[in-house]
């Protein structure tokens, strides 16, 4: 039976969770950005380098073959690489198998109307079903955390949604750390990469 996300996503604010406070892309697709992470118990005092490798539209036919339905929204597959450049990634023994700092809703897609935060993978896209071993876009945190703890580069994938017919201009990570200044509060901020020719 087809798992539908449209009913969940269009019922509330999750469908179009627009993010504020981003002044525009910091760099282009394929380039890296270095950042600390906000509220990370596994990586409190370190820096990671994140590269947005690609962003590709997913057709309705492909979504159907995956037993998914984006409803009246456009779907995109985004791929990133993450590497620790300063500090040590801690991996507790009882760590579970979630993606943590790099789960689906930590990523965003930028449209002509603003940044749209990614939906929660298991709840909103898979209707409560787990698909950690999905080869097309894995959602298992274990290999990500193992790679970072070993000092290796980790591959991360996100399935993002945008209002149908939107012009896509950027892709972003929403949990970068914003340092507290004399006139600014600390917290999370969004860093973004510009994209072109996304149809």
pLDDT tens profile 174-195: 999 987 655 556 688 999 999 9
Confidence label for 127 from pLDDT (cuts 50, 70 and 90): low
Query: CB neighbours (10 Å) of residue 70?
Result: 22
pLDDT tens digit sequence for 48-71: 999 999 999 999 999 888 888 888
Q: Which of 187, 193, 151 is closest to 50 using CA atoms?
A: 193
State yes or no: pLDDT of 152 exceeds 90.
Answer: yes
Q: What is the radius of gyration, based on Cα positions, of the chain? A: 16
Average pLDDT over residues 124-139: 65
The CA distance from 25 to 41, in Å, is 27
Where along the chain do its domains lie?
6-194
Average pLDDT over residues 76-84: 96
Coil/strand/helix, residue 54: strand
What pLDDT shows up at residue 75? 94
CATH code of the domain made up of 6-194: 2.60.40.1240
For strand 114-117 and strand 27-28, is the pairing parallel, antiparallel, or unpaired? unpaired
Global pTM value:
0.82
The CA distance from 120 to 47, in Å, is 25
pLDDT tens digit sequence for 11-44: 233 345 555 445 667 899 999 999 999 877 777 7
């Amino acid at each position: 039976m087809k798992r539908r996300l449209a009913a969940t996503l269009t019922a509330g604010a999750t469908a179009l969770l627009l993010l504020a406070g981003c002044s525009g892309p910091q760099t282009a697709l394929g380039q890296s950005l270095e950042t600390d992470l906000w509220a990370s118990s596994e990586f409190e005092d370190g820096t990671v380098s994140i590269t947005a490798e690609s962003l590709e539209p997913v057709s309705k036919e492909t979504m159907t073959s995956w037993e998914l339905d984006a409803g009246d929204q456009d779907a995109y597959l985004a791929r990133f690489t993450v590497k620790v450049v300063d500090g040590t990634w801690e991996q507790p023994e009882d760590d579970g198998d979630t993606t943590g700092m790099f789960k689906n809703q930590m990523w965003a897609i930028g449209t002509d109307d603003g940044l749209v935060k990614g939906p929660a993978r298991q709840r909103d896209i898979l209707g409560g079903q787990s698909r950690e071993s999905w080869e097309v876009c894995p959602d298992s945190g274990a290999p990500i955390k193992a790679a970072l703890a070993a000092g290796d580069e980790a591959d991360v994938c996100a399935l993002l949604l945008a209002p149908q017919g939107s012009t896509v201009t950027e892709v972003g990570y929403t949990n970068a750390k914003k340092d507290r200044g004399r006139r600014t509060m600390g917290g999370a901020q969004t860093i973004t990469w510009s994209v072109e020719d996304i149809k």
